[in-house]
């Protein structure tokens, strides 16, 4: 097959080069007022986010006995936990008991902190 990436098109053929920081941005790199570079891009108004869509689907009927799809899934997860699947046990524990807090010990040697600036 040859060297790695030999058969792939060059990056510039896949995606154009990033736009340089020009007059449409301020010193922090944020778009200035009146910028038109991002007009009309992004998610259209009125469309739901992925979590919203998943919640809506989860509320739909999932079985003939009237349980929601989300109920059916949760019963299945519980069944997996009873069968000894560690991920299912962890999933249930995290949502019923709460996730354990993670503690980190930070030590220092009383030296001054270096501040780096990137131009």
Q: Which residues, at least 6 apart from 72, have a Cβ–Cβ distance to it below 8 Å?
A: 62, 63
Give tens-digit pLDDT for 9-59: 554 455 455 555 556 777 777 777 776 666 666 667 767 788 888 888 878
pLDDT in the model for residue 89: 93
The pLDDT of residue 12 is 46
The string of pLDDT tens digits covering residues 77-111 is 999 999 999 999 999 998 888 887 888 777 777 77
Q: What three-state secondary structure class fits 55?
A: helix
DSSP of 58-109, one letter per residue?
A: HHSB-STTS-BHHHHHHHHHHHHHHTT-HHHHHHHHHHHT-PPPP-------
Q: How far is CA 114 from each of CA 1, 110, 111, 117, 118, rounded to the nearest angstrom? A: 48, 12, 9, 10, 13
């Amino acid at each position: 097959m040859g060297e790695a990436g030999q058969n792939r098109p060059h990056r510039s053929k896949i995606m154009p080069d990033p736009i340089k920081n020009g007059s449409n941005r301020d010193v922090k790199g944020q778009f200035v007022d009146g910028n038109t570079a991002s007009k009309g891009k992004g998610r259209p108004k009125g469309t739901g986010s992925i979590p919203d869509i998943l919640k809506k689907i989860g509320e739909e009927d999932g079985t003939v006995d009237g349980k929601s799809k989300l109920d059916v899934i949760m019963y299945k997860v519980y069944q997996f936990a009873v069968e000894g699947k560690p991920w299912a046990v962890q999933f249930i524990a995290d949502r019923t008991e709460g996730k354990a807090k993670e503690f980190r010990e930070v030590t220092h040697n009383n030296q001054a902190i270096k501040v780096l600036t990137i131009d």
